Amino acid sequence: MAEQAFSIAIACSHSADCLASTLQALAELDYPKGFEVLVIDDGRREGREDAAVAAKTAGLSIHYLSAPGIGRASAWNVAIHEAGAENLAFLDDGCVPSPDWLKVYDNAFDEWTAGVVGGPDRALKNAGVWERSLSYVLNSFLGSLGLRTGRAFLGRYYPRPWNMAARTEALRLAGGFGEHAPVSPEVPMISRLTRLAFKASFEPNAVVGRRRETGPLKLVARDFRLGAERGRGIAPPGVRRAYAAGLIALLCVIAAAWAGGRIPGREIVLVALGAYGAALIFSSAHSAILTKSPAVAVLTPALMATHHVSHLAGYVFGLLSKAASGFARAS
């Protein structure tokens, strides 16, 4: 058995300042310092090696790996190969874990069937209106159907790699992250883990504050790519059912508009649209209460609707791409 309980993998995608704040939070964890930190630098930002050296000087055990141009899934797979501890935790370099973050994960692995465990992410206390609104949208039930908060109404919970931990040997047995799914590489891996009888679970107390360097255009592009992956089949079955329901609803709206009121279902479609609008209004009010910010409440409905439309458009594109590929193979 490995002497260390944990290795921590950080696949860099943000600025050197973000990495420095993450490493500082790791140095302040309420946990014995017998863990190693693997920093995989994709080379797209300067100053990260200096931040790693500074953290090493401050007492952290840092293993810095320079891998110019590497993708995030590949970086996480490098960490799985390099990790020397029994368990491997994953963080973004935009994340600031709570002091007991690693202790919570350590306790989670007392259960022998636990294979992979995830926790929630929240906007940092000093985050601006955009980041707080985005955090609300992505973590709310209307925005994620409970998939990010462990409420697995649609099936199995899938932890996200910016805040999760797993048994290192289980990750190796499962073959690591799916590099053919750059937006959601954890989905095929966790599916393989569960087939190996390991359990995926949610730990609400393993909290991280997460900084998002994502503008509106990047958000739309990422949502579209994620929807496309799910349309091609890289998604939990329950999520595919939710997308299919949304697609059917959209087709009903198009049919009603085309029929110009000549079909009986037009009123039903209008009621459905009204219900969706009411849900957006409710989410706006809820975000105002939760964040205590009227500005967040104003931004939330538009951001939520954009999030849904981008996902659904990507899903349709993925379905069409999958159908076209199947037709090409058949012919």
User: The tokens of 169 are what?
Assistant: 């040997």
Q: Which of 10, 2, 180, 5 is nearest to 78 (CA)?
A: 10
Q: Side chain identity at 154, as an amino acid letter?
A: L
Q: Looking at residue 211, what is its pLDDT?
A: 87
Q: Looking at residue 17, what is its pLDDT?
A: 92
| Backbone φ, ψ for residue 60 (5° rounding) | -80, 150
Q: Looking at residue 1, what is its pLDDT?
A: 39
* Range list for CATH 3.90.550.10 in the chain: 6-119+159-213
Q: Looking at residue 233, what is its pLDDT?
A: 77
Q: Side chain identity at 277, as an amino acid letter?
A: G
Which residue positions in the chain have pLDDT lower than 50?
A: 1-2
Q: Looking at residue 297, what is its pLDDT?
A: 92
Q: Tell me the chain's radius of gyration from C-alpha atoms.
A: 21
User: The tokens of 6 are what?
Assistant: 């944990």
3-state helix, strand, coil in the chain (%, to 5): 55, 15, 35
| Backbone φ, ψ for residue 170 (5° rounding) | -65, -40
Assess if CATH 3.40.50.970 describes domain 6-119+159-213. Answer: no
113, with CB counted inside 10 A (0-12, 13-18, 19+), is exposed
Q: At which residue do the structure tokens 């601006």 appear?
A: 128
Rounded Cα gap, residues 179 and 294, in angstroms: 41
Tens digits of residue pLDDT in 118-147:
999 998 888 899 999 999 998 888 877 766
| Backbone φ, ψ for residue 165 (5° rounding) | -140, 150
Contact 246, 316 (CB under 8 A): no
Rounded Cα gap, residues 225 and 233, in angstroms: 13
Sheet order of strands, 121-123 included: 95-97, 208-210, 121-123
Q: What percent of the chain clears pLDDT 90, i.e. is strictly above it?
A: 42
Q: Which of 196, 210, 179, 229 is nearest to 76 (CA)?
A: 179
Q: Looking at residue 118, what is its pLDDT?
A: 93
Q: Looking at residue 140, what is its pLDDT?
A: 85
